[in-house]
């Protein structure tokens, strides 16, 4: 595995590949876990050459968010990436990605307005901007994103369509701990009691499948009540929307829907979701 820190070095490695070599790309903010490694595994199955980026992107964090304390362990990440069979690890500094004040950003409208977009102003502009920069540097044929961030997937898909990026976005299933908690680098923030109570997100979302709800409001109310049984859970949102348009819906009529939640346990903000059509989980 080659490790590079500059865009020029990354492009040099990529330009040296045979013209028929397919490039798979897994963008991450590091502190790798099985969720990231499952994306690498899928990329390896489908592509000839796999690039992983590790960059904690400052412009997607709000002022009072966790940029400074976001977990980082580059040495461990290098080992995990190497063991997973990554070919090129791109680990730029903030100065490398943002050498001068940024005057150009990518703003995706509409799909960024609800869910996390409503609570984290500027977040998706930061994500879309860094992902488009990374796409220009890595020039992937296929890029792999986890569906825990289902809104992020919808935003990137919209951006790729609107701006004609020659890349296929591959949404990948959420990877979970044994008790159902969605894997996230931020799970390390949870203390043992918060960690225990956080499993309610998965349990509440799974229960939605077993009921025959007629409206989005009924689903939201049911999930809210379930999550509220845990005293440490502070709900930010519980929303049921059409997916991937993220438009509001009223009656559930067999369209593809997302039931998405953001909940704080102490200082840790967790998100999770389930994608359903006619009560069955569907592939995004
Ligand atoms: O999902 C993430 O880890 C980040 O939002 C991404 C896509 C790497 C952009 O910084």
The whole-number pLDDT of residue 200 equals: 98
Residue 283 above 90 pLDDT?
no
Please give the pLDDT value at position 281: 87
CA 137, 143, 146, 147 torsion: positive or negative?
positive
Q: How far is CA 5 from CA 34, 69, 90, 96, 222, in A?
A: 24, 22, 6, 8, 47
Q: Is 139 in the pocket of ligand 1 (CB under 6 A)?
A: no
Q: Virtual CA dihedral for 26, 87, 42, 154, nearest 10 degrees?
A: 20
Give nearest CA residue, ligand 1 atom 1: 28
Residue pair 113/80 in contact by the 8 Å Cβ criterion? no
Token pair for 26 = 């897994």
Mean pLDDT of the chain: 97
Q: How confident is the model at residue 141 (pLDDT cuts 50, 70, 90)?
A: very high
Comparing CA positions, the residue from 190, 179, 184 lying closest to residue 233 is 190
Give the pLDDT score at 278: 83
Q: Is the distance from the beta carbon of residue 132 to the nearest atom of ligand 1 less than 6 Å? A: no
pLDDT bracket for residue 162 (50, 70, 90) = very high
pLDDT at residue 136, rounded to an integer:
98
pLDDT at 280 over 90: no
Residue located nearest, by CA, to atom 3 of ligand 1: 28
Mean pLDDT of 150-171: 98
pLDDT tier at 149 (50, 70, 90 boundaries)? very high
pLDDT computed for residue 152 by the predictor? 98
- Cα–Cα nearest to 20, from 105, 141, 108, 121: 141
* Whole-model pTM over 0.95: yes
Evaluate whether 23 touches 139 at the Cβ level (below 8 Å). yes
| Residue 123: active-site member | no
Residue 53 alpha carbon, nearest atom of ligand 1: 8
Peptide bond into 244 cis (omega under 30): yes
Please, is 249 exposed, middle or buried when counting C-beta atoms within 10 Å of its C-beta (0-12, 13-18, 19+)? middle
| Res. 254: pLDDT tops 80 | yes
DSSP secondary-structure letter at 122? Answer: T
Asked whether the CA dihedral 130, 134, 135, 137 is positive or negative, the reply is positive
What value, to the nearest 5°, has the Cα angle with vertex 266 and ends 261 and 270?
A: 25
Cβ of 27 below 6 Å from ligand 1: yes
Q: Using 50, 70 and 90 to split pLDDT, how confident is the model at 172?
A: very high
Cα 54 to middle of ligand 1, angstroms: 9
Tens digits of per-residue pLDDT, 44-90?
Answer: 999 999 999 999 999 999 999 999 999 999 999 999 999 999 999 99
Q: Are 96 and 134 in contact (CB under 8 A)?
A: no
Which of 144, 140, 177 is closest to 272 using CA atoms? 177
Q: Do residues 152 and 124 lie in contact, with contact meaning Cβ atoms separated by under 8 Å? A: yes
Is the CB–ligand 1 distance for residue 131 below 6 Å? yes
Ligand 1 atom with minimal separation from the 156 CA: 7
Enumerate residues 6+ apart whose C-beta is below 8 A from 101.
none
Distances (CA, A) of 261 to 116, 142, 156, 235: 9, 28, 20, 8
Catalytic-role residue among 36, 91, 136, 141: 36
Is the Cβ–Cβ distance between 24 and 41 less than 8 Å?
no
Spatial neighbors of 21 by CB under 8 A, at least 6 apart, are 48, 49
Is the pLDDT at 138 greater than 80, yes or no?
yes
Res. 111: pLDDT tops 80: yes
The answer on pLDDT for 36 being more than 80 is yes
- pLDDT computed for residue 53 by the predictor: 99
21-43 mean pLDDT: 98
Q: Give the Cα separation of 184 and 84 in Å (integer).
A: 18
Q: Whose CA is nearest to atom 5 of ligand 1?
A: 127
Q: Is 77 in the pocket of ligand 1 (CB under 6 A)?
A: no
Contact (Cβ atoms closer than 8 angstroms) between residue 147 and residue 173: yes
């Amino acid at each position: 595995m080659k490790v590079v820190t500059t865009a020029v070095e990354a492009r040099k490695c990529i330009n040296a590949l045979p013209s028929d070599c397919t490039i798979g790309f897994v963008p991450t903010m590091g502190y790798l876990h099985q969720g990231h490694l499952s994306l690498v595994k899928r990329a390896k199955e489908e592509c000839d050459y796999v690039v992983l980026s590790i960059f904690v992107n400052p412009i997607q964090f709000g002022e009072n968010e966790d940029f400074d304390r976001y977990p980082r362990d580059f040495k461990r990440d290098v080992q995990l990436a190497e063991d997973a069979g990554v070919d090129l690890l791109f680990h730029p500094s903030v100065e490398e990605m943002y050498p001068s004040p940024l005057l150009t950003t990518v703003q995706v409208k509409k799909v960024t307005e609800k869910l996390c977009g409503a609570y984290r102003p500027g977040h998706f502009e930061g994500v879309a901007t860094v992902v488009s920069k990374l796409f220009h540097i890595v020039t992937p044929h296929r890029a792999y994103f986890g569906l825990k961030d289902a809104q992020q997937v919808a935003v990137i898909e919209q951006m790729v369509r609107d701006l004609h990026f020659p890349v296929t976005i591959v949404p990948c299933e959420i990877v979970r701990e044994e008790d159902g908690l969605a894997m996230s680098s931020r799970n390390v923030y949870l203390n043992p009691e918060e960690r225990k109570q956080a499993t309610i997100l998965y349990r509440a979302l799974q229960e939605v499948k077993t009921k025959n709800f007629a409206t989005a409001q009924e689903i939201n109310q049911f999930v809210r009540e379930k999550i509220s049984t845990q005293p440490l859970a502070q709900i930010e949102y519980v929303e049921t929307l059409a997916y991937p348009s993220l438009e509001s819906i009223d009656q559930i009529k067999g369209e593809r829907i997302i039931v998405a939640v953001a909940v704080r346990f102490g200082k840790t903000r967790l998100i999770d979701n389930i994608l359903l059509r006619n009560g069955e989980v569907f592939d995004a």
